[in-house]
Every structure is written in C-alpha cells, then in structure tokens.
C-alpha cells in the first residue's frame, strides 16, 4: 500500500505495496513532498523508486501478480512446511533486527512506557475472560501452564517487500480453541503501518500499528481469537507476516514484535458456527514465493478461478478483508468526481469518485453479496493525539465481512471451474456506479466450506435466483463562490440504498431445503469543504442487515449494523510555513450478531452459565486534537482529548438492534487527555473490576502528549 493521505486528514498508515497516483491532493501535499526531498537526500532516493504522489516514497515490491489466475483445489490446501521446533519460526534473512529498537533499562528509567490499547470485548482464554490487551480479571484465577507456541519474534525496520516468513508446527497438546497474542514495543518517530498475516496464500488477520513516542516509547498487546482457522492450526503452515516500515534519520521507529498462539480445550457453547472443514483463499497466491498475497485495486484484477470446488459442500461463506489506502484511506471524505478539481486553484485537487464505496463479490460474474466498509481511522488519522493511547475502533483488529454463498452450492458443486472476483465500486463523473476508484484498496477473500461426511456425495439443487436491482442513488451538491469567482465552499449530499436477495433449493447429504442470503443497506453522507478547500466536515452513517437462512438452525446467521461517523478538520499554514491541524471526530459502531457466525463474537467468554441468542456491541468514541509542525517538517507536537464508551451484551431472545439492550456482559468508559488516561471505569458481567491497559496507564497529564509525532500533511512513507 502506498502511504499517501487525503489532504484534509492526516496521519501515516502505510503498507507494503506502492500504487501510482493521479493527483496531488493539495498545495500542502506538494510542500510536504519538497520537505521530504530535502530531509532525505539523494542517498535514500537512490534506493527506492518514487511514485507520482509525494505521500512518501516506497520501494517496489517484487512478484507482480498476473491479472487472472487459475487454481485447482484439493482438501489438503497447503504443502507441509519445513519442520520447526514446537512452532518457533525462522527469521527472514532479508531483514536484520536493530538492537537500538529495544528500549534499554536506562531509557526506561527516564519515564514510563505508554500503553496503547483498543477497547474491545473480552477474549476467552484458558483461565477465563481476558481483556483484548491480555489482562486477566482478578477472579479469573492464576494462569495454568499454557500451551503456547512462538510464531514470530521480529524487528520491522526497513521492511518494505521483506515480510517475516517462518514455519508453524502444531503443538502436541489437545486443543479446539486458539488465541493470538500480538505484542509490540517501539520508540522514536514513525507513521502507523498496516500489517497482514497469512497462512500461505490465505490472509488470516489484518491489523495496524500505533505511532511511537520518545523513549521509553510505547507498548501494546492485542489478543485475537483465531479458532475459526482450526483447519490451518491442525497442520504445518508457512507463516507470512507483512509489516512494511521505513527507517531513516527522521523516521526512527522500529517495531519490535512478538506473536504467540495459545492452544486449549474448552467446552464453551455458543450459536457461532463450528470451524469449517476447508478454507479456500481468494488472493494473489504468492505464498510459495514467500510474498504477500493481497490484491491491490484498481491496479489488479482480483479474480481466482477454482477448478475443483468440493462437490460435497453443505455450507459456504465468503469472507472479505478490505481497506482503502492512499487516496482511498479516507474514502468517506472524498468528493464527487465532478468536484475533484473544484479547489485546484487554492488547495489543489481532491480525491474523488464520491464518498461512497461498495465492495462486491462476484461468482461467475454474478453478484453474490456486498460489503459497505466500516470506516477505519488508523492511529495517525486526522490527528495522532486523538489515538494516544486509545486507538480507534478496529485499528488493531480490522474485521472481515461475511457473505453466505450457500445458495450458489448447486452451481459450485457441478464439477466445473468457477471464478470468484472482488471489485470496489464508487461513483463516476455522472454519479453512476463504477468499478474505477482511486488508489488503493487492499483486498483478499476466503471461502469457509463445511463438508458432508461422505466425500462421494454431491450437492445438487436449483441454480441461484438473484434479485439485485441497482442501488438507488440521491446526489445533491452546491458550490459557492466569492465575488471574484473563486470557489470557496462546496456542499454535497450522497444517499444510497440497496437490497439484494439470493435464493436456491439445495440438496446435500445432510439436509434439503430452500436457502437464502439477503442484504438491506442504507448510506448517507453530508460533506462540506470550506475555506477554499482547507477545511472539511463529513457527517456519515452506514446501516445494514445481512441474513442467511436455511432448512436448519445451524445455517441461520444475522448481522444488523450501524456505523455513524462525524469528522471535522481544519488546516492553517502561517507565513513561516508552520502547519496547524485541528480535528474533531465522533465515531460509533453498533452491531448485533446472531446465529452461525464464522467468527467469534465475544459471547464465548461468557457462555459457561447461560447461552445467549445474540451478541450486541455498542460503542462511541469522540475526541478533539491539535497537531502543529514547523515549516521544515522536523519538529512537531500535538495535544488533545478522547473518550470512549463501550458496551457488550448478550440477548436471551431474538431482537432487533436498538430494541433490546440485553444482559450487560462488558462495559468500559475511558477518557484520555494529552496521552494519559485520566478516567477508566470497567464492569465485567455486572461486576466492577480494575486492571487492564487503561487503568495501568492512568497518570498525570503532561500537557504535551509525549510531543513526538510522525504526522505531516500527507500520508508519510517514512522518507
């Protein structure tokens, strides 16, 4: 992913592949590019190939992917990896760790390591529920001897195009649940970076980093339930972990990472689906080259042809992993394509193709389902002080979207090759749906398949009947000018509605009956670009309901979700070139999940005494922050405040999101000022508890928020 940002929104998340850009987003971006060139010099630039946009330059990544690839598929998905000692991985020979990256005792004595965290529902561990930062609760008991495998211990310094590659060997202990522990320490100045984890060709987790501080730096831990991947955990695998990073005299932060997996047995019972029998990647399939396998859109064609889909499949779910980067990272703030150059004479061209995005899954060219993405704001987004130490929702754990493709099984099980494609759609100049969008989107997919017991059985039935009318669009815009004809204020409103229904009669060894997949979605976004293109406000909301039904309860799945987002930001540049960015963000996420979800919902940690029908998550984070940078780009500081309220509950009977609060299982209300947590309230199953990332970080407000930021008015690539 190329590291360029929207001109009105700041930060610096960057991943491993560059993509060419078409536009400078503003004069600020051009100014920042010139500062970058002065700061780095010709020596650094001799090592890399620059792109046309100066969000930051990154090296080319080898192993270009053909537009369309064809694959056979057997039950044994991956070739066995080379043996290793109880799962401990070999270090990639292309990336040498830096001893300077690990905070020393002397450095630690000068201050306290800042503990960053994302607020999320607890994860089930062998000793009971644990916070997503790894903290057990006081009544959870002392952890017994855990069955833990080291997957990676690696320092990501100059790591673009050089992912960590190692071998996993299953442990000898019995297990039916697996939880990852990702622990990172860093200090110095660095952008936030995107990271993707693969088993061979299959992406299994997407995360991103916090931005480090001055020594002794930062530390964060994230626990991730990975039980849905038991298909992989039961056999040797190649582990590929890609975290593209750049180091020079200005951007000094190295990410020291440790990744472990804890294996254990549990008889916990929820309505979530049991782990699938098979997982088929829809990806660039570069694992055999020890390379990353995400598709970069629109540069590539994200299509695989599967020649031998298992004919005894009884259920199949397509899972999407997607996020926008560069001019598409803040897609929700993009303007209509017709207004992309409205402020070209003042602030410069703005990213276009509208603030609406739809990710589509196509099977043999037929629409199978869509995702309207959650707008992830990474830890450098808008202003880094907003996310220090409380990361935004999903910044440490980008969720995947499920599309049930069981209605397609009579087609997929016919013994013929079938194509699976992922496309990202926006709106073109005439405000019609187009699959041409800006650079870049990183996408992969995978198909979870559950098989009948008899390998010789063949699933049959009717062809899928698809009702997918075009989205209903409502677009309005106005452009106000000064008396001399200069564009001053742009107001644009975008509203989209869509419904989709796929039905079929499916006959398998285990069941026969009608199955369906339906989606109903609604989107609104009011955008205001003012001050001749230097200020911007967006008030957006996405809501939807996805539902799968079939002849038995084990095929029922329903997810109702709402993603509200309000963002307001302004840029000012003094006569001396000093930059000030002010930002205010309020972001929410409300999700109710019931039935056979592929992924853990969080109910696993609370299901020992009671079985819940659905999981309800409701969270809102709000904050205001300021970022300041000197004209030479070498000194920056920031301050701000943020607060988040998070509630997770279980319902005892089927309800509609918002109509039933359910039984509170986890609650957290946390507030931070200038990099320090000043209030942290937490309840687990109705009981007030202490500990956790926030409580451990509570301290005095230092007034400068650790004072070291990587942020520049473009999405920095580290040079």
Q: Which two tokens stand for residue 236?
A: 């040797």
Mean pLDDT across the chain: 83
Q: What is the pLDDT of residue 86?
A: 32
Closest by CA position to 715, among listed 35, 49, 53: 53
Helix/strand/coil (H, E, C) string of 463-486?
CCEEECCCCEEEEEEEEEECCCCC
Q: In the predicted model, what is the mean pLDDT of residues 564-589?
A: 95
- Across 66-75, 128-137, 494-503, least confident range: 66-75
Q: What are phi and psi of 41, to 5 degrees?
A: 90, 170
Distance CA 417, CA 438 (A): 31
Q: pLDDT tens digit string along 430-457?
A: 999 999 999 999 999 999 999 999 999 9
Least confident of 8-22, 475-489, 677-691: 8-22
Residue 380, pLDDT above cutoff 70 = yes
If you search the block for the tokens 């202990």, which residue do you land on? 173
Starting from the edge strand earliest in sequence, which strands make up the sheet with 218-225, in order?
Answer: 114-115, 218-225, 177-186, 255-264, 147-156
240 or 138: which leads in pLDDT: 240
CB 591, CB 617: distance < 8 Å:
yes
Q: Tens digit of pLDDT for each residue in 668-688?
A: 999 999 999 999 999 999 899
Question: Phi-psi region for residue 34, left (φ > 0), alpha (ψ -120 to 50) or beta?
Answer: alpha
- The answer, yes or no, to whether residue 556 has pLDDT greater than 60, is yes
pLDDT band at 496 (very low <50, low <70, confident <90, very high): very high
Q: How confident is the model at residue 213 (pLDDT cuts 50, 70, 90)?
A: very high
Residue 138: predicted pLDDT: 60
Give the pLDDT score at 272: 81
Residue 129 has which token pair?
């529920």
| pLDDT value for 552 | 85
pLDDT of residue 653: 65
Give the predicted TM-score (pTM) of the model.
0.84
Cβ 380 vs Cβ 192: under 8 Å: yes
The DSSP symbol for 312 reads T
Tokens of 293: 């396998």
Q: Summarize the confidence of residues 251-260 as an average pLDDT.
A: 97
Rounded to 5, what percent of the chain is helix, strand, coil? 10, 40, 45
DSSP 544: E
Give the pLDDT confidence score for residue 611 in this predicted structure.
80
pLDDT at 76: 28
- Stretch 16-38: mean pLDDT: 37
Residues 6+ apart with CB under 8 A from 364: 411, 418, 419
Question: What would the pLDDT profile of 266-318 be if each residue is shown by its tens digit?
Answer: 988 777 889 999 999 999 999 999 999 999 999 999 999 999 999 999 999 99
d(CA 460, CA 212): 55
Q: How far apart are CA 368 and CA 500, in angstroms?
A: 9
Q: Which of 39-48, 637-646, 647-656 has the lowest average pLDDT?
A: 39-48
Using alpha carbons, select from 717, 692, 4, 653 the residue that is nearest to residue 328. Answer: 4
- Whether the per-residue pLDDT at 221 is higher than 60: the answer is yes
Banded pLDDT at 345 (limits 50, 70, 90): very high
């Amino acid at each position: 992913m190329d590291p360029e940002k929207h001109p009105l929104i700041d930060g610096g998340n960057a991943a491993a592949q560059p993509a060419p850009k078409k536009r400078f987003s503003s004069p600020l971006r051009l100014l920042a590019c010139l500062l970058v060139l002065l700061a780095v010099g010709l020596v650094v630039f001799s090592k890399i190939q620059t792109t046309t946009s100066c969000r930051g330059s990154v090296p080319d990544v080898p192993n270009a992917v053909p537009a369309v690839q064809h694959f056979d598929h057997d039950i044994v998905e991956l070739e066995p990896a080379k043996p290793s000692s109880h799962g401990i991985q070999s270090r990639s020979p292309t990336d040498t760790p830096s001893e300077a990256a690990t905070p020393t005792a002397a450095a630690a004595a000068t201050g306290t390591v800042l503990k960053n965290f994302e607020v999320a529902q607890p994860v089930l561990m062998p000793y009971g529920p644990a916070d997503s930062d790894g903290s057990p609760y006081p009544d959870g008991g002392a952890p017994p001897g855990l069955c833990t495998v080291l997957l990676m211990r690696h320092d990501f310094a100059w790591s673009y195009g050089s992912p960590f590659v190692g071998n996993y060997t299953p442990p000898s202990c019995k297990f039916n649940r697996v939880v990852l522990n990702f622990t990172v320490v860093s200090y110095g100045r660095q952008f936030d970076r995107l990271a993707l984890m693969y088993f061979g060709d299959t992406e299994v987790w997407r995360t991103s980093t916090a931005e480090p501080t001055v020594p002794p730096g930062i530390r964060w831990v994230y626990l991730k339930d990975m039980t849905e991947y038991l298909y992989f955990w039961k056999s040797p695998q190649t582990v590929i972990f890609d975290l593209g990073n750049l180091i020079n005299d200005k951007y000094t932060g190295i990410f020291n990472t440790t990744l472990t997996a804890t294996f254990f047995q549990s008889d916990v019972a929820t309505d979530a689906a049991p782990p699938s029998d098979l997982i088929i990647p829809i990806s660039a399939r570069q694992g055999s080259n020890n390379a990353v396998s995400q598709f970069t859109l629109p540069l590539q064609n994200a299509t695989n042809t599967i020649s031998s889909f298992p004919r005894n499949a009884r259920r199949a779910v397509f899972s999407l992993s997607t996020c926008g980067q560069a001019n598409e990272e803040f897609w929700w703030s993009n303007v209509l394509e017709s207004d992309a150059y409205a402020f070209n004479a003042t602030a410069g061209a703005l990213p276009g193709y509208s603030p609406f995005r739809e990710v589509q899954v196509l099977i043999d060219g037929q629409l199978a389902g869509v995702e309207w993405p959650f707008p992830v704001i990474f830890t450098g987004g808008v202003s880094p002080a907003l996310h220090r130490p409380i990361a935004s929702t999903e910044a440490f754990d980008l969720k995947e979207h499920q599309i049930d493709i069981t209605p397609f099984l009579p087609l997929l099980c016919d013994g013929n090759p079938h194509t699976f494609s992922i496309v990202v759609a926006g709106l073109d100049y005439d405000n019609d749906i187009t699959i041409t969008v800006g650079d870049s989107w990183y996408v992969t997919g995978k198909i979870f398949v559950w098989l009948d017991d008899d390998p010789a059985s063949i699933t049959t039935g009717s062809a899928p009947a698809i009702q997918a009318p075009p989205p209903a669009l409502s677009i309005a815009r106005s452009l106000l000018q000064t008396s001399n004809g200069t564009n001053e204020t742009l107001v644009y409103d975008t509203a989209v509605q869509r419904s989709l229904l796929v039905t079929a009669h499916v006959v398998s060894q285990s069941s026969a009956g009608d199955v369906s997949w339906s989606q109903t979605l609604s989107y609104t976004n009011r955008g205001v670009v003012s001050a001749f293109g230097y200020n911007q406000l967006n008030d957006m909301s996405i809501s939807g309901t996805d539902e799968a039904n079939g002849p038995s309860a084990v095929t029922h799945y329903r997810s109702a979700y709402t993603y509200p987002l309000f963002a307001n930001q302004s840029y000012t540049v003094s006569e001396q070139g000093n930059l000030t960015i002010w930002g205010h963000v309020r972001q929410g996420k409300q999700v109710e999940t019931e039935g056979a979800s592929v992924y853990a919902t969080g109910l696993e940690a609370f299901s020992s005494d009671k079985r819940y029908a659905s999981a309800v998550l409701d969270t809102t984070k709000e904050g205001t922050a300021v970022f300041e940078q000197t004209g030479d780009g070498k000194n920056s500081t920031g301050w701000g405040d943020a607060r988040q309220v998070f509630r997770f509950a279980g319902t005892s009977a089927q309800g509609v999101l918002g109509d039933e609060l359910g039984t509170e299982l986890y609650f957290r209300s946390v507030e931070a000022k200038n990099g320090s947590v000043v209030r942290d309230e937490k309840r687990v199953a109705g009981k007030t508890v202490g500990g956790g990332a926030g409580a451990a970080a509570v301290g005095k407000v230092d007034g400068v928020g650790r004072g070291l930021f990587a942020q520049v008015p473009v999405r920095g690539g580290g040079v």
